Amino acid sequence: MGYVDLHLHTTASDGVMSPSEIVRYAKAKGLQAIAITDHDTIGGIAEGLEEGEKLGFEVIPAIEISAEYSPGSMHLLGYFIDTHHPLLNEKLGELQKARAERNPRMVEKLNRLGIQITYEEVLKASGGGQVGRPHFAQVLVEKHYVRNFQEAFDRFLKKGAPAYVDKFRFAPKEAIHFINEARGVAILGHPNTLGLNGYSAMEHLLLELIQDGLKGIEVYYPEHSSSEIAQYKSLAEKYGLLMTGGTDYHGIEKNGLDIGVGRGEMKLPYSLVEALKMARNQS
Ligand code: AMP
Ligand code: FE
Ligand code: FE
Ligand code: ZN
């Protein structure tokens, strides 16, 4: 059996490869299956599935939803979602609306900081998909206001930076609910970004999310340390949660990170996908 990557972005959100490109790339790399997990949008799924069918390559329809949480950020992954589900589409529509209101405000803030940037330039950078901060970063780099992508975030775009504008997010419970309604398997993405300290804080949160319908944790992730991986694994075993993993490849990387392998440390067996399928069939 081959290897898989269950966390990938395309041009439908803030990745640089189109859905069909990423499917072809994954196949060329020798992977057995991938999941397309764009932020807050299913806009890339149809194209990805179609390319997969054409090539005889397994593509899992999925999504990554940003949920309301502090002190850090919470991303909920939904695997095998039914992309035609009305509630899912209604909720994603609300997120699109929130972005449409937020993005021009970020342009205004940048303009007030003396940066000449237009919304049209950002739209162009997005390539027609959903617009996000990475597209702002790209324009700032292209126009030489910053030297690189990371500097754009650090100086202007990250939370608390002068051009940052917050956007509406669903409560975790609501995001998990509509993932489940759309027959998706809800997984807590990269728990190390939650800003939680220690095992018991993590355990407490997980118990709450399990009540809300969470089915698993993304254990394997390039930014997880080996002790974090051990902690998430032990909690998953304790509560019978699924364990997933992926690289979160956007194509704009980041110290040699690549699809499927991360920085060389990742080997995610196809059995992760089989476990997700079993969970889906049980609910
Ligand atoms: P948005 O959905 O528009 O708020 O943009 C969020 C995306 O920006 C994330 O998915 C990352 O790809 C990227 N991002 C967020 N924070 C940072 C950061 N501090 N450094 C680099 N990229 C970031
Ligand atoms: Fe992203
Ligand atoms: Fe994420
Ligand atoms: Zn992601």
> Could you give the angle at the alpha carbon of 209 between the alpha carbons of 190 and 245, nearest 5°?
25
Residue 187 predicted with pLDDT over 90: yes
20-34 pLDDT, tens digit per residue, is: 999 999 999 999 999
Residue 253 predicted with pLDDT over 70: no
Mean pLDDT of 160-164: 97
Q: What is the pLDDT of residue 254?
A: 64
Is residue 215 lining ligand 1, measured as CB closer than 6 Å? no
119-139 pLDDT, tens digit per residue, is: 999 999 998 899 999 999 999
Residue 255 predicted with pLDDT over 90: no
198 CA → ligand 4 middle, Å: 23
Atom of ligand 1 nearest to the CA of 99: 3
Closest C-alpha among 254, 253, 252, 248 to residue 224: 248
Atom of ligand 1 nearest to the CA of 158: 19
Whole-model pTM? 0.96
Q: What is the pLDDT of residue 151?
A: 96
pLDDT band at 1 (very low <50, low <70, confident <90, very high): confident
Q: What is the pLDDT of residue 252?
A: 76
Is residue 248 lining ligand 1, measured as CB closer than 6 Å? no
Is residue 153 lining ligand 1, measured as CB closer than 6 Å? yes
Mean pLDDT of 157-176: 96
Residue 41 predicted with pLDDT over 90: yes
Closest C-alpha among 68, 64, 62 to residue 82: 62
Atom of ligand 1 nearest to the CA of 250: 12
Atom of ligand 1 nearest to the CA of 131: 3
238 CA → ligand 2 middle, Å: 30
Q: What is the DSSP string of 187-203?
A: EE--GGGS---SHHHHH
1 CA → ligand 1 middle, Å: 34
Percentage of the chain beyond pLDDT 70 is: 99
Q: List Cβ neighbours of 253 (8 Å cut-off, separation of 6 or more).
A: none
Mean pLDDT of 90-114: 97
At which residue do the structure tokens 């997990």 appear? 37
